[in-house]
């Protein structure tokens, strides 16, 4: 009888699923990294994402991320005689839902009176792989935003110097000339703040301006599209 019980017990143990000693499969984390495309003395960086649940979406997104930063910047175009184009890219991933990309371009060439720069910004949806929306999809563009820009809630992050009266001018430009029918992408997201890209006026004052405010300081202006993500 003892031999029969031992045989039954042995067979039962062999039939049990092998859970106890198997290793758990780690969760794949959404991440991104920077890659670089070069041509002669020119280079442009672009972001590439990894860890998305849908490989098709990830492939499509990465194609868009590369196109967004490089576009036709490295093409041979006789209309533009830039000797060099440099593109430096930064990104921020917001709670695995959005990736905000900024590419800062610096142009130099014999045909230019002086070197100049510009900033391109766009936020992508990590679930769809598509652009996530315009600035007014994420923040209310109204009189309260104008006040937040001029009362010190937003601070200048580029250029290093701030010129008297420029915040009032830019606030008026951004709010008064805002057209909700246009797909305005003059904004970006960081881990802790909301940024706005403001237009250039005088080269000596900077080819472009960026200002930022912490999410907490402009929480009442943020739309549910962003606040719900931040609260995940």
What are 34-52's pLDDT values in tens digits? 999 999 999 999 999 999 9
Cis-peptide into 159, omega within 30 deg: yes
Please report which residue ranges of the chain form alpha helices under DSSP H: 2-15, 55-70, 143-150, 166-176, 224-230
Q: Tell me what pLDDT residue 164 has.
A: 74
Q: Tell me what pLDDT residue 116 has.
A: 83
Residue 87 to residues 82, 90, 119: CA-CA distances in angstroms?
Answer: 13, 10, 9
β-strand pairing of 82-94 with 42-50: parallel
CATH superfamily, region 31-128: Fervidobacterium nodosum Rt17-B1 like (3.30.565.40)
Q: Tell me what pLDDT residue 169 has.
A: 86
pTM for this one?
A: 0.83
Q: Are 84 and 42 spatial neighbours (Cβ–Cβ below 8 Å)? A: yes
| Sequence spans of domains, the chain | 31-128, 133-232
Regions in the chain scoring below 50 on pLDDT: 1-26
Which residues 6+ apart lie within 8 Å of 208 measured at CB? 117, 118, 119, 158, 197, 198, 199, 200
Q: Tell me what pLDDT residue 183 has.
A: 92
Q: Are 185 and 137 spatial neighbours (Cβ–Cβ below 8 Å)? A: no
Residue 195 to residues 11, 21, 25, 83, 125: CA-CA distances in angstroms?
Answer: 65, 49, 38, 31, 17
Q: Tell me what pLDDT residue 26 has.
A: 47
């Amino acid at each position: 009888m003892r031999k029969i019980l031992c045989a039954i017990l042995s067979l039962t143990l062999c039939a049990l699923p092998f859970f106890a000693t198997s290793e758990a499969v780690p969760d794949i984390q959404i991440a991104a990294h920077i890659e670089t495309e070069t041509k002669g003395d020119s280079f442009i960086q672009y972001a590439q994402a990894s860890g998305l649940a849908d490989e098709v979406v990830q492939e499509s997104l990465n194609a868009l991320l590369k196109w967004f930063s490089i576009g036709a910047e490295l093409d041979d175009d006789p209309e533009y005689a830039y000797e060099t184009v440099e593109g430096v890219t930064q990104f921020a991933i917001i709670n695995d839902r959005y990736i905000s990309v900024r590419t800062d371009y610096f142009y130099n060439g014999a045909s230019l009176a002086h070197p100049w720069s510009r900033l391109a910004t766009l936020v992508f949806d990590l679930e769809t792989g598509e652009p996530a929306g315009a600035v007014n999809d994420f923040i209310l563009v109204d009189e309260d935003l104008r006040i937040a820009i001029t009362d010190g809630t937003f601070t200048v992050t580029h250029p290093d110097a701030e010129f008297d009266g420029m915040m009032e001018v830019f606030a008026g430009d951004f709010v008064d000339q805002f057209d909700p029918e246009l797909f305005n992408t003059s904004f970006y997201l960081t881990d802790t703040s909301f940024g706005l890209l403001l237009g250039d006026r005088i080269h000596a004052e900077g080819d472009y301006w960026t200002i930022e405010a912490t999410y907490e300081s402009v929480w009442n202006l943020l739309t549910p599209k962003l606040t719900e993500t931040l609260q995940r």
